[in-house]
Amino acid sequence: MGKAFQFKQFAVDDDQSTMKIGTDAVLLGSWSNIENAEHILDIGSGSGIIALMLAQRSNAFVDAVEIDKSSAQQAARNFEKSPWKNKMKIYHTSFQDFSVCNTKTYDLIVSNPPFFIEALKSEDVYRNLARHTDTLSFEDLMKGISKHLSPKGKVCVILPVSESISFKLIAELNGVFCNYQTGVISKKGLPPYRLLMEFSKLKTDLKEDSLCILNEDLSYTEEFKYLTKDFYLKF
């Protein structure tokens, strides 16, 4: 077993998960809008890092869906050893099957979805499951999200800028609209490489801002420290 990632209020093992803990997950878990959320759904949970972050930030019950067996089992263990084990549940299933069998609605749905639609695939078949859209297309994802999103609920996702355009169009076809987005910049002076996006069933004027992770000297920016201060030990 690898060394657990230690955050301020919980630890996460990810050595058995197809998707390792990265900046995208921490950004989404820190940035997502938890206001008035009583029930939260994390789609493609991996090791459970985002679900755990949202459990820490809110009083909500958190459900997580993960198709990969070893990842789901590891998420379950991470949930069990956390302070919020009584309000967290993992479903080992595809999101498509979850959506067919489940009628629950959620006030907040989050996903760090697969996005390499036509990219060259690695030799690791399980990592491919997590990183490519073969097992969960944007169409299937948004169809399920539209079903499970409460009337006033929010959807928060993170995607590469290049993939965000098609994702927004598919969302609109399913009656879900992007109302707020944050462009994530890896280092000052560079263009955004990710978009944090918030959707809802109510269409409003799009609000936009940006977040930079590193200064030119490679130190962390104050805005990134502020966003993630409740989790990273070094902030």
**54 neighbors 112 (Cβ within 8 angstroms):** no
What pLDDT sits at residue 126?
Answer: 42
2, 55, 113, 105: CA torsion to nearest 10: 140
Residue 227 amino acid letter: L
pTM beyond 0.85: the answer is: yes
What pLDDT sits at residue 125?
Answer: 40
**114 neighbors 128 (Cβ within 8 angstroms):** no
Q: Tell me which residue has tokens 């994530």.
A: 184
For residues 71-80, b (16+ Cβ closer than 10 Å) or e, as one string?
bbebbbbbbe
- Give the residue among 31, 26, 30 at the shortest CA–CA distance from 47: 26
Separation between Cα atoms, residue 93 and residue 69, nearest integer Å: 8
* Domains of the chain, earliest start first: 5-228 (3.40.50.150)
Q: Tell me which residue has tokens 């944007």.
A: 138
pLDDT digit of tens for each residue in the chain (235 aa)? 567 899 999 999 999 888 889 999 999 999 999 999 999 999 999 999 999 999 999 999 999 999 999 999 999 999 999 999 999 999 999 999 999 999 999 999 999 986 644 444 445 444 443 343 456 799 999 999 999 999 999 999 999 999 999 999 999 999 999 999 999 999 999 999 999 999 999 999 999 999 999 999 999 999 999 999 999 999 9
What pLDDT sits at residue 109?
Answer: 98
Count how many Cα atoms sit within 13 Å of the Cα of residue 42 in the half-sphere of its side chain: 31
